[in-house]
Structure 1
Amino acid sequence: MQDVPRLLMSAVPVVSDLAAAVPAAAPHLVDDWWTVADAVAGQWAGEGGEAAAASLRRAAAGAGTLDGHATGIDAAAAEGLGLIAAAALDLAVIASEFLLECAGSAAAAAGAGPAAPLASMAGMQGNAIEALMRAGDRLTRLDGELADPTATLESIAASDVDIPDAPTVPAAAMVPASATDTAAGAGSSAVSGAVPGAGDGAPTPQAKAAVEHALSAVGTPYQWGGNTPGVGLDCSGLTKWAYGQAGVDIPRTAAEQTVGRPVDASELLPGDLVVWDGHVAMVVGDGKMVEAGDPVQVNPIRTTNMDMGFKGFWRPTG
């Protein structure tokens, strides 16, 4: 029993140090997120810039929410640790008073008659019951005191924070490129040999030239908002560049490349565009299409691309 107050008292400075160590809320950096988002929106044209800016704005909003949560967690933790330290001190006092009463009773009994030790023991039992009741009351009070900081932490834990996913490349990047596709370097006209007769049967010379230019970019790394073969291309950047090299100007974003006229799958020709609301590819012949995955690659024609809406096949020329 003599060790109880010593142990409780030794716990007080430890808990107090923990409370003091709770860091203050970090400086607010949320405005920096908004500044970056606005800069991206102003300087990065096309679907890549728009998507990046939107993602950064979501990140800014999420950062603001998390910053507020961090402040709330710090405050609740500091309050709770302070309350626990105060309760530990009160329990130590209760234990010390009980031991002092026991020591006094034992000293008094030592100089009394034969029956004194029994009476002293009965008194100690009463003191012990009283001390336990006081300790129980103090713990009950602590439980009530901790209700507010506990509710704060539970509320934060249950809340949702809108954090954007990490940027990803289109689904084409998940489809392994063939050995022939990956072996050819970006900008090599020999890549057209990966598709026998690539461009043959195109509805116009411009469509045939667009196919040849698109295939010359096979192997170029995927770059969100990219427009440069050999350096970086995104899906609509590839098709716009290829048709631009053939003398045909088409819109920059994928969803806007529903130009020319729609065609049925049964009448596809080289140069036709395969369009989703967030991705685009170009038919090259032999049942294949070229698209900006990571890297630019040739894959079988398909009409699904993650959960994007399919907008059909389109023929910019002819």
Structure 2
Amino acid sequence: MKSLLAILSVVLVILAIWYVAAVPMNIAGSLTQAERGGMEVNPPGAAERRDISGWVLAANNPQAIPLTWAEKRPVLPAPHQVAVELWETTVLKKVTSKRSLVYHAWVTLSATLLGFAIGTGLGIVLAVGIVHSKVMDMSVMPWAIVSQTIPIIALAPMIIVVLYSIGVQGIIPKAVISAYLSFFPVVVGMVKGLRSPDRMQTDLMHTYNASKTSTFWKLRLPSSLPYLFASLKVGIAASLVGAIVGELPTGARAGLGARLLAGSYYGQTVQIWSALFAAAILASVLVGIVSMTERNVLRKMGLAR
């Protein structure tokens, strides 16, 4: 009960700050429309002057404050505007409609899951090689670290252009970008996990004359699972970001990234914010699924309560 109250308190504080912040951001546009509708603005023409801050305009025109929360194309949409847009584009639209956020979320989710599967598999294979080979540890790991220093927004167009030039289109380019972002957390977490058994445990396996394969399957792999699942939570979120970024350079017509692009082209800030919230909700669901899987697997293996 206390935790629920704490969460609700934080949400209410965020909503209050959001509503307050929307006033100075939207007041100039609201007053301009109000002036055109015959409303007196104090001082006259103030909405057109750049030397007057939004707070001053709001203080001089308190009657216009409700208008800032009802702008059709606000600079910062109010929370209820985003909530209404989410409701209309998820519940009131058919999932097959190209105006449905469910449809766009599914397009992005498909690339996310494919990229996550590729990135996770690649990360695990590299981690196993790094742990068992000093050559790979000295060569592959530094390059894996360096690869993450390149901004994905700069790398994504290059990947897409190269893949398009060899005829690879559709979901694959986005999945490659997702895999690029998701493999690194898996590599780092898996390497840490595979090396987590202490000297006493490895010596015990040597006492039993266990082979490297037996040591891997019976000691190192089970010990690495908590680390693996922790990295998978980061990886699935990063994979979603990669899928969205991969939709931006291509001018895609479907996906949450395409929804963001369309909103920016036509100045539909409410649409942009609703797509952002849809992405955040989707990421939360994916991380939650990984967390549930983690609890079930570790409980069955006796590694968690």
* TM-score for the superposition, normalised by structure 2: 0.27
Q: TM-score if structure 1 supplies the norm length?
A: 0.26
Structure with more helix by fraction: 2
